[in-house]
Amino acid sequence: MCRIESSLGLSDLTTASDIIYVGQCSNNPCEQNCKENDLGTNFNCSCLPGFSLNNDGKTCGVCDSNHYGEGCAFICACNVNNTAMCDSVTGNCQCSTGWEGPTCDSDINECNSNLDFCKNASNCINTIGSFMCSCPKGFINATSGKACEDIDECLTNPCKATEACLNTNGSYSCSCKPGYQGTSSGGDCIDIDECSSQSNPCAQTCSNVLGGYICSCSDGYMFDQNKKCVSVFRREFEIHYPSVSPSDNVLTLNSLEYNNTQGEIYNTINRQLQLLAKGYLDCSASNLRKGSLVATITVNMNKDAYTNLGGYLTKALTMMNMSELTINETRQPEAYIFVKSLRVQRDTPQCDLRALIDPCESNENCNVDDEGISYCQIQM
């Protein structure tokens, strides 16, 4: 059927040229192509190449993987086992990896190409549709046999205890570790005695150990913060905790409880002396014993850098805050410092305390300067 459209009334239609015929395809009944008969009374739908007309006679569906062309009427000539895709329009074959040719029937010999699929001096072996790599010694197949990777032999520790392992491409080498040297016979690496060499690495005492050496200071000396041996001013005092009743474990040398308590005492005293005592180097806490709990504190100060260390230590002991002392992470309200039989307090006379720590010579008098620090002065 067709319909007649005009801007004129029916009575005004006088000639055939006034009539416009509107065909069936004007309503776009087809998904792709629409064709009418000569009278415009009927139409047919068709599809582009690569598609076929569905059963409804109007819509189009893409060709399946084995057909192509107009109406999907042609069968693809591609080898289905070696083809990734058959073009639904042209029927051209897109080959899977490892195949080539119009119908994907020809195996690609990857080993004849210049792409060097197998690296690291490995041998390429062509297979049907693919290839594999044969790896030389020192390499291992990786990525499903398609490449050779270096084996890190050093992971299995093939060298001797005195040797260092260096991984190389396809192999490894062993060389003497620092502190060891090889022999003329090429045998095991032997220890270098650094202490016996002309260039002794230590300023005072050198102790050779396997693969290295240890420097230490002679008696009366110790390392400062720069690892330099300095002359030491060393004094002792006691700290008493009257409110602490130590268990047997706390008093057992090298037990966990002994070491923990010793560490707490050291940390508290060390922290305060660092702030209060000029020339202070370090201290130690030892000889934990009952009474209720008593520890011996040994203080080391730098004689090379400062004079009047007895005055600095005396002042520091009277300034220490006993309320900061802790045992078992608990602040102790009662903790006292004793130098011999003298209990040290804030108002302890500096010269009385100095007489026990670092007494003046017989021809000297003890005086106290404006900063409250005692010093010895030769009698006039």
Task: Kindly give, in sequence order, each residue whose CB lies less than 8 Å from that of residue 54, ignoring residues fewer than 6 positions away.
Answer: 60, 61
> Which pLDDT score, from 0 to 100, does residue 1 have?
42
For residue 280, the Cα-to-chain-centroid distance in whole angstroms is: 38
Q: What is the mean pLDDT of the chain?
A: 88
Residue 14 has pLDDT above 60, yes or no: no
pLDDT tens readout for residues 60-89:
999 999 999 999 999 999 999 999 999 999
**Cα 294 from Cα 339, distance rounded (Å):** 13
Distance from the first to the final alpha carbon of the chain: 144
Closest CA to 295 of 334, 335, 332, 255: 335
Domains of the chain: 110-150 (2.10.25.10), 157-216 (2.10.25.10), 220-378 (3.30.70.960)
pLDDT tens readout for residues 257-278:
999 999 999 999 999 999 999 9
The position carrying tokens 């569905």 is: 54
> Which pLDDT score, from 0 to 100, does residue 13 have?
47
Residue 2 has pLDDT above 50, yes or no: no
Closest CA to 238 of 287, 282, 273: 287
Residue 8 has pLDDT above 70, yes or no: no
**Cα 218 from Cα 255, distance rounded (Å):** 30
pLDDT band at residue 111 using 50, 70 and 90 as cut-offs: confident
pLDDT tens readout for residues 299-351:
999 999 999 999 999 999 999 987 777 777 777 778 899 999 999 999 999 99
Report residue 352: phi and psi, to 5°.
Answer: -65, -45
**Cα 111 from Cα 127, distance rounded (Å):** 10
Indicate if the alpha-carbon torsion angle 121, 122, 123, 127 is positive or negative: negative
> Which pLDDT score, from 0 to 100, does residue 120 have?
64
Query: If you average pLDDT over residues 152-163, what whole number do you get?
Result: 93
pLDDT tens readout for residues 272-297:
999 999 999 999 999 999 988 999 99
pLDDT band at residue 137 using 50, 70 and 90 as cut-offs: confident
Report which of residues 7 and 319 the model is more confident about: 319
> Which pLDDT score, from 0 to 100, does residue 3 have?
46
Given a contact cutoff of 8 angstroms between Cβ atoms, the answer to whether 162 and 180 are in contact is yes
Residue 131 has pLDDT above 90, yes or no: no
pLDDT band at residue 22 using 50, 70 and 90 as cut-offs: low
Closest CA to 33 of 52, 20, 19: 52
Residue 115 has pLDDT above 50, yes or no: yes
Q: Which residues pair with 44 in a beta bridge?
A: 35
**How far lies 323's CA from each of 34, 134, 327, in Å?**
102, 77, 11
> Which pLDDT score, from 0 to 100, does residue 125 have?
83
**Cα 102 from Cα 188, distance rounded (Å):** 66
Total residues belonging to the chain: 380
Q: Is the peptide bond before 292 cis (omega within 30 degrees of 0)?
A: yes
> Which pLDDT score, from 0 to 100, does residue 189 have?
93
Report percent pLDDT > 90 for the chain: 64
Given a contact cutoff of 8 angstroms between Cβ atoms, the answer to whether 104 and 82 are in contact is yes
> Which pLDDT score, from 0 to 100, does residue 337 have?
94
Report percent pLDDT > 70 for the chain: 90
pLDDT tens readout for residues 178-231:
999 987 777 889 999 989 877 788 989 999 999 999 999 999 999 998 999 999
pTM to 2 decimal places: 0.57
Query: If you average pLDDT over residues 109-119, what whole number do you get?
Result: 73
